[in-house]
Amino acid sequence: MRFARRGELDGGRSAVQQPAPRLYVLDGLRIIAALMVVLFHYVALRGGWGRDTREFFPHLSLITRYGWTGVEIFFLISGFVICMSTWGRTLGDFVVSRASRIYPAYWVAVFLTASVVTLWPQVRQVQNWDAVLTNLTMLQTGVGVWDVDGVYWTLFIELKFYVLFAVVVATGVTYRKCVLFCGIWTVAAVTSSSVDSKILDMWAMPLYAPYFIAGIAFYLMYRYKPTALLWGIVAMSLLLAEHHVPRRVADNSSHTIPTWPASLIIFVAFVLMALIALGKLNRVQWRWLSTAGALTYPVYLIHQYIGMTVIYALRDRIPAHVLVPGLIAVMLGAAWLLHKYVERPLGKRLRKGLLKGMDEMRRNSAPPATAPATAQTREGLPMPKRVRLYEPAEPDRVGAGKSDGA
């Protein structure tokens, strides 16, 4: 049993949880998705090669040209993980957790990528450093500024999901509210396709909403139990996701290619998430997957233009079938360093600072005390110790109701 019957479906009572196994399989799925994107950039795109990659990888490129679907898998996992990690938390918890998780490694990655492409501008050039500084906000897409690295557009999609789900978190995450959120978002996403509204299209995100929504429904299955309603949400999301696959294929390929492989990958991803939701993969307890999963975000942030620049420099010196695996190994090593020496320590310090600021905000927002002075205070005796107004949340971990994924 994954959880003891967790109280009321509407969240009226606090759910009592039994220890749940860490979801190592989610870590494994995340690193697979990341490597799919990496291979797409290194093997399927001209990038640093300067010509059609089918000359270098005549067979492998037929598979890796669909590696962009790793982004969709990330969004599917994100819906599951964010719903899991916000259960029982306040809005302050959510903001502190997400900010301290996604920004430290990102800030370093922005400067690192900008520095590399400035020194070696053969693949990508820095337009101006004002744009680089704007990238530090992660909001550059919203203000029409180019991304320092090509993968950063997905981070803006993720941020918008956080903002939308924050509405649920602010009112208290419950089963019914999550289902209602999924329903409203689905209607908005479908409507945006036929309504000429840039604002609706921007926030409804019709191409990607089905993945986040399905992820939320899968977590509700995992936390409670599968129901016809939840399966209906998943089925609807899968059909809508598959509907948009041809457009995504066209956007990510310079020539006409079959769409069925991408559709199959998306279907398999949904099946795997269903198995996770049903607890069928809880027996996967390979601890090394935790380390692999920790590398997902850093390697995603730094791999594209830095890697393409390296390919450009070495393409005529090292055979392609040696260069790409070696480059991926180097990127994973760099990701480990970024995780160990930047993401973890800087994230901890940022979390501490944000918690302190949140505590101060709550303290200053509290109404002034109006109770009359007690005999103790009148006689000059010490007041009782002030109660801390904001308790820090535990660091996110995959499993046991927590997650460290973005």
Per-residue pLDDT averaged across 162-175, rounded? 97
The pLDDT value recorded for residue 370 is 57
CA of residue 397 relative to chain centroid, distance:
14
The pLDDT value recorded for residue 193 is 82
* pTM for the whole structure: 0.86
Percentage of residues in the chain with pLDDT exceeding 90?
Answer: 76
Mean pLDDT of the chain: 88
d(CA 210, CA 183): 11
Angle between helices 228-251 and 175-192 (to 10 degrees): 40
**Model confidence pLDDT, tens digit, residues 337-358:** 999 999 999 999 999 999 998 8
Provide φ and ψ at 399, rounded to 5°.
105, 165
d(CA 56, CA 51): 9
**Model confidence pLDDT, tens digit, residues 277-293:** 999 999 988 999 999 99
Per-residue pLDDT averaged across 174-195, rounded? 95
Per-residue pLDDT averaged across 106-135, rounded? 94
Across 186-195, 246-255, 363-372, 388-397, least confident range? 388-397
